[in-house]
Amino acid sequence: MLSEVRAAIRDVPDFPKQGIVFKDITPVLENPVLFKQLIDVFAERHASNKIKKVAAVDARGFIFGAALAYALGAGFVPIRKQGKLPFKTHDESYDLEYGHATLSLHVDAFKPGERVLVMDDLLATGGTALAAARLVSKAGGQIFEIDFFIELAFLKGREKLASYPVFAPIVF
Secondary structure of the chain in HEC code, one letter for each residue: CHHHHHHHCEEEECCCCCCCEEEECHHHHHCHHHHHHHHHHHHHHHCCCCCCEEEEECCHHHHHHHHHHHHHCCEEEEEEECCCCCCCEEEEEEEECCEEEEEEEECCCCCCCCEEEEEEEEECCCHHHHHHHHHHHHCCCEEEEEEEEEECHHHCHHHHCCCCCEECCEEC
> Is residue 118 one of the residues assigned to a domain?
yes
Residues marked as catalytic: 60, 97
Domain count, the chain: 1
Contact 168, 148 (CB under 8 A): yes
Lowest mean pLDDT among 13-17, 36-40, 156-160: 13-17
Q: Does the pLDDT at position 30 exceed 80? A: yes
> Is residue 152 one of the residues assigned to a domain?
yes
> Is residue 43 one of the residues assigned to a domain?
no
> Is residue 26 one of the residues assigned to a domain?
no
- For residue 154, the enclosing domain spans 48-161
> Is residue 146 one of the residues assigned to a domain?
yes
Q: Does the pLDDT at position 105 exceed 90? A: yes
Give the pLDDT confidence of 114-156 residue by residue, as tens digits: 999 999 999 999 999 999 999 999 999 999 999 999 999 999 9
Q: Does the pLDDT at position 108 exceed 70? A: yes
